Structure formats: C-alpha cells, structure tokens
Amino acid sequence: MFRRIHIVGRKNHGKTTVLTELVRELTDLGLAIGTIKHTDHVHDIDTPATDSHRHYEAGGAPAAIISKEVIGTFLPRGDGHDPYAMLAPLYGDVDLVLVEGQRGTGNPTFEVWRAELSDAPMALEDESIRLLITDDEPPEGVRCPVTGRDQLGDLASALSALVEMRTP
C-alpha cells in the first residue's frame, strides 16, 4: 500500500490550495507525488449521456476514457472494498500520495484552518490531526504543531526527508 497524508478542513478553508502548493514543492524536491480527492458526496464524475458515462452505466467495470492528455478510469467501489487498496496499482511508483479529505484513516492528517470562516479548528476535538496549517493564531487547546501557509516549503522539505528515510 502507498504512503499517504490526508489534507482536511472545512469548506473553503483552502485545502485544495495547500495541497496543490505542497505537490509543487515536493515535486520540485524530486519526489513523485500522487493525489486523490476524497468526497462523501454522491455524484457523477462523468457527464451523463456521454459515451464514457454510458459505458460505465452499462456495467463496464472498469470503464475508461483515453484522450490525448489523460486517462480516466471509473471503478465501481462496492461495499466493503477498500478504495485505497483498489487504487494501489496506479500509485505504485509514487513516493507519497496527498489525499484531499477523509479523517480517521490512521494515516497522518493535516488540517487547513482559517479563523475568519470557523471559530474552532477540528484539531481541538480530533486528536488524529497531526498538524494545523494556518496563518491565524490557533485557539487555546490545540495540541498539535502549527505551521503557517508561508512555511509550506519547509514542510515539504521535512516530508521529503521523512520519505527518503523510509524508502528501502
């Protein structure tokens, strides 16, 4: 299974911005980085009535679309199937996977928090959050380390060193 870090936070707190900045920093350091967007919402990830959507709806499992630029694959998840195990073959050559979303996985989890949008970070209640990324003064009671958004380069360097230490 691949190593992954989850970037979590409430809506509009900047998860995607932080994740994409970390990807750039980490790839600049020479690491191969994969990403996954996790959502609890139920929705189509393909446009209904297109050929690729019709393939999936007809029962293609997996169903894929190949274009000049990208390949998209649709896999039915099914109850009881670990989606990360299902994706593992696609991420075998990466050093680290950054997942946007999903707390409580047992993997390192970093929260992105903005005081103007929420009184309290989730880190106050969720002890599994290992790092709070914010430019604001965190409220009293946050027990995990805190880093600023302007320190993502330092964070990437620390993550790179950890990845290299664990690589056989």
CATH of the domain at 139: 3.40.50.300
Whether 159 maps to a domain, the answer reads yes
Report whether 98 contacts 5 (CB < 8 A).
yes
- 32 domain-assigned: yes
pTM value is 0.86
Domain housing 24: 4-42+80-166
Tokens for 22, please give them: 């970390």
Give residue 94's pLDDT: 93
Q: How would you class 3 by CB atoms within 10 Å of its CB: exposed for 0-12, middle for 13-18, buried for 19 or more?
A: middle
57 domain-assigned: no
Residue 160 within any structural domain of the chain? yes
Number of domains making up the chain: 1
Q: Is residue 52 assigned to a domain?
A: no
Cβ neighbours of residue 152 under 8 Å, at least 6 residues apart? 18, 21, 22, 25, 133
Does any domain span residue 156?
Answer: yes
- pLDDT tens over the chain, length 168 residues: 578 999 999 999 999 999 999 999 999 999 999 999 987 766 666 778 888 888 888 888 788 888 899 888 888 877 888 888 988 998 989 999 999 998 988 889 999 999 999 889 999 999 999 999 999 999 999 999 999 999 999 999 999 988 876 655
Is there a domain that residue 134 lies in?
yes
